[in-house]
Structure 1
Amino acid sequence: MKRFLLFFLSLYFSLGFFVQCSDDPTGAGSEYLKVNSWIRDQMSNYYYWNFVVPRMAPGNLTPGQFFKDILYETDEFSYITDDAETLLNELNGAQYSSGVSPAILSFSDRDQLFMVVKYVYPNSPAQQAGLKRGNIILSVNGQTLSSSNYQELLQINGTVAYGLGSYSLDEGTQQMNVTDLDSIVSVQKEILQLDPVITTKVIETGGKRIGYLFYAQFIDGIADVFMYRLNERLAELKAQEVDELVIDLRYNPGGRITAASQFANALVPLEAAQNEEIFVEFEYNSFLENFYRTSEGTDSENLFLRFQEGPVSMGLERIYVLTTNETASASELLINGLKPYMEVITVGSNTFGKYYGSFVITGTFQSPPLYYAILPVTLKYSNANQETDFIDGLEAQIAASENILSPKPLGDPEDPLLKAAISDILGQSVTENTYITTIASTVNWYPTLSNQLQSSAWFIQD
């Protein structure tokens, strides 16, 4: 991570001559002037739409408000936090967590909020306490979830008592309900190293050996530990001589470009990796684009990211990827970047639709240090065929959907998304389940802060 941060520090000084700005034009105060001046300088250098950044920074606006006010009108992705340390830990996979990945829902005709466990990290306190995918939680530490308190309750430290509920569907009226089970599960939150490979397995059916891997987010881990583990899991699947591979990215919001690149190296046909073909191309603001071209050359790795031969090559001509509208950013980069070189069949629903990336910029190297971090949209990417701007997401080639209120275990061949992929592999017709229409019209989804970046659909350029 130190290398990662030093990159920004050295680049900032190299680009500093571009910034000629003044401060506090209104004279309305200086409480936030130092932080806002720092924000303004970084945004002037790195922001993809830097033409909207003002030449002067006020001292009377909070940093969060100033940052929000200067964003380009269509930018819903750039992010600021006053807790750089926590953010950097999360980027390395270290989170203060019980090991639950939650979805916060409510029924459209009722005010009641409830949490559904999308998945549980292996060997986490949550798994040890018996929580599992599909569990419904109605309260935290005795407080019923509501739209006004759920984010605060999700961030409670220490021991957390989850009040469980159950889901039911009236077959006659199609009315969905959750009811209190009067059961409590207590879980201790800890700093966890959350390995993004949740589960792998091999499914033998119809004369095929189908590998399955669920991947939660694109993170390297300290000293690339998660990448080593990913390669180990892929090598295990290859050793079992899988004919096909299904990668489950249905809840993957993105992550670091290095993780996506190394994953892609294992998936792309070996010839493309050996020839170092283009994986993705990056486009920046004119200042940054010119800086890279003049200082590093037109083939700079900051302009073109190429495949590299890695420790594992799956040796497949096609892969299946399970997707939903939570599949975002680096997940979409992986799919889009592989498409020019192999068949990538997407199963589920359209992805989120984000073709931008960010730098992580912190003020911790300032003197005195600033404990803020910003993640401005810094670049736009396209694949080797110049395909980008998929504003409505990458289209699912095979439609399938799950009932998040009553889901099958991850990797279960009866899970609707995986079942659709298997059916296509076996040459069978695929019929989409109809209950998703009912779910979509009666359930509201709320953003969560279980990961500071999760609702921002993120990918990070190193």
Structure 2
Amino acid sequence: MRIKKFLPLIFAVVIISCSKDEELTVPKTIDPLPSANVPVQDFMWKAMNFWYFRQADVPDLGDNRFSDSESYTSFLQSENDPGAFFDNKLLYIQDRFSFYNSDYRELTNSLAGISRSNGLEFGLVRKANSEEVFGYVRYIIPNSDAATKDIERGDLFTGVDGTTLTINNYVDLLFGENNTYVLNMADFVNGDIIQNEIEVSLTKEEALAENPVYISKSFEINGITIGYLMYNQFTNEYDDDLYEAVLGLKNLGITELVIDLRYNPGGSVNTTRALASMIYDTNTDNLFLKKRYNDKIQDQLTESQLEVYFTNRVGSTTIEPAGLSKLYVLTSASSASASELLINSLEPYIDVVQIGDVTRGKNEFSTTLVDDRENSYLYTPTRVNKINANNQWAIQPLLGRNENADGFYQYTDGLVPRYNVKRGLWKLRDFG
């Protein structure tokens, strides 16, 4: 099911740097008839025609698909709902990750770790041979409403407001506009999930900010100092906190590091590069990744715009790298995009020991596109006043794929752990 409301991320943000003389050229395309009221669909088609990585594989996105304004307008009007138009007319059939939002502010806030939330981070599982769904608590965001309630990691729930969760109603019940809902809790009994009498009321708050640096601690085991970092989203707004955590572990003298990315769905490429540099080295001659776009864009970019190197800075701060030669990474099926990028881009340089489950399998990157045609549709915070006032929609399409320094990118089925470890949902342990 494609959920129209923006959910926690499976994407990687990328920024293309161009000087005034190197700006990308967006080819001239046909405009809809002046009488047509389709600004969102027109924006979506034009942005996807230029940026979409699989543009050549979608016949309706072809450069010569329309011969005149009449045929183009008729196509744009084929779906009244812009979301349905995006899903049904513009996406490559195997695209699992491109999405949209009717409000660019909601989307960009979510990318910054800000959302309307009660602070409960959970997973959902469909019961075997049933339409019913149950939830399990992954973790609680500090300073949230959930943090004040009697609910914790590993707890189970089967209903909301007395209604049993199913594959048909869970979106409305859990992700709808309701500010408050009551979870009907459950226990694991003799191999089944059974509802109990416990109820937990949770209230969503606007603009709840989550610091993705969830836990940073160290252990002394057999004379070895080991660091543990649970990191839940590659969010550049918290890069200073991330560096403070890694530097703190380095100053404790760690010689080994475990990074827990089990619930990290991805985020910023620049943050991923910074974290890799903190862990390994800040030699800016070492290639971190190489980007591949569709041919229309690839041909306009120079090698320097396609290659990304390790960095020696976080903002204005010089990085003191930990200089580790081995990294342990905990993964799950929810580990995606930038989480996978960290593993793949470090593997040419250090021994990365992946432990847990196979990752999601997203080797592509994306960025936020809005109806700012003078800026090639790229969302830029300083240009929000340039966005078409009649169209506040945003799309987050796949723009290309990432290759590591060895040229490897073939993990669309997920990165396979060296040590495959799965736990039953009723056996969730404390972090760290």
* TM bucket, shorter chain: 0.7 to 0.9
SS in 1 for 2:243: helix
From 264, 289, 295, the counterpart of 2:298: 289
For residue 86 of structure 2, what is the aligned residue in structure 1? 67
For residue 304 of structure 1, what is the aligned residue in structure 2? 307
Change in Cα spacing, 1:21 to 1:396, as seen in structure 2 (3 Å) is same
For residue 261 of structure 1, what is the aligned residue in structure 2? 273
Change in Cα spacing, 1:5 to 1:344, as seen in structure 2 (3 Å) is closer
Tell whether the 8 Å contact from 2:14 to 2:366 is kept in structure 1 after alignment.
Answer: no
Determine whether 1:137 maps to 2:157: yes
Structure 1 residue 115: Cα displacement: 1.1
Tell whether the 8 Å contact from 1:15 to 1:45 is kept in structure 2 after alignment.
Answer: no
For residue 316 of structure 2, what is the aligned residue in structure 1? none
Change in Cα spacing, 1:37 to 1:8, as seen in structure 2 (3 Å) is farther
For residue 184 of structure 2, what is the aligned residue in structure 1? 163
Structure 1 residue 161: Cα displacement: 2.1
The letter of the residue matching 1:239 is N
Change in Cα spacing, 1:351 to 1:84, as seen in structure 2 (3 Å) is same
Structure 1 residue 347: Cα displacement: 0.7
Structure 1 residue 107: Cα displacement: 2.0
TM-score by length of 2: 0.83
From 393, 408, 431, the counterpart of 1:372: 393
Structure 1 residue 157: Cα displacement: 3.7
Q: What aligned pairs does 1:58-457 form with structure 2 within 5 A after superposition? A: 58-60=75-77, 61=79, 62-68=81-87, 69-155=89-175, 156-168=177-189, 170=190, 176-190=191-205, 191-221=207-237, 226-268=238-280, 270=281, 273-293=282-302, 298-300=303-305, 303-310=306-313, 311-363=319-371, 365-411=386-432
SS in 1 for 2:227: strand
Inter-partner Cα distance in structure 2 for 1:87 and 1:284: 23
SS in 2 for 1:299: helix
Structure 1 residue 325: Cα displacement: 2.0
Structure 1 residue 121: Cα displacement: 1.6
Structure 1 residue 10: Cα displacement: 10
Identity %: 30
SS in 1 for 2:93: coil
Structure 1 residue 5: Cα displacement: 11
SS in 2 for 1:266: helix
Inter-partner Cα distance in structure 2 for 1:205 and 1:110: 45
Inter-partner Cα distance in structure 2 for 1:82 and 1:251: 26
Tell whether the 8 Å contact from 1:5 to 1:361 is kept in structure 2 after alignment.
Answer: no
Aligned residues: 384
Residue segments in structure 2 that go unaligned for 5+ positions in a row = 1-12, 67-71, 314-318, 372-383
Tell whether the 8 Å contact from 2:187 to 2:194 is kept in structure 1 after alignment.
Answer: yes
Q: What aligned pairs does 1:45-60 form with structure 2 within 5 A after superposition? A: 45-51=50-56, 52=58, 53-54=61-62, 55-56=65-66, 57=72, 58-60=75-77
SS in 1 for 2:262: coil
Structure 1 residue 206: Cα displacement: 2.5
For residue 18 of structure 1, what is the aligned residue in structure 2? 27
Tell whether the 8 Å contact from 1:250 to 1:327 is kept in structure 2 after alignment.
Answer: yes
Structure 1 residue 180: Cα displacement: 2.2
Tell whether the 8 Å contact from 2:234 to 2:272 is kept in structure 1 after alignment.
Answer: yes
TM-score by length of 1: 0.77
Tell whether the 8 Å contact from 2:119 to 2:141 is kept in structure 1 after alignment.
Answer: yes
CA RMSD of aligned residues (A): 2.5
Structure 1 residue 246: Cα displacement: 0.5
Inter-partner Cα distance in structure 1 for 2:14 and 2:232: 24
Q: Deviation string for 1:181-205 (max 9, x for gaps)?
A: 2112222211211111221222222
For residue 374 of structure 2, what is the aligned residue in structure 1? none
For residue 415 of structure 1, what is the aligned residue in structure 2? none
Inter-partner Cα distance in structure 1 for 2:91 and 2:396: 12
SS in 2 for 1:350: coil
The letter of the residue matching 1:377 is L
Runs of 4 or more consecutive aligned structure 1 residues displaced over 6 Å after TM superposition: 4-11
Structure 1 residue 234: Cα displacement: 1.2
Change in Cα spacing, 1:207 to 1:14, as seen in structure 2 (3 Å) is closer
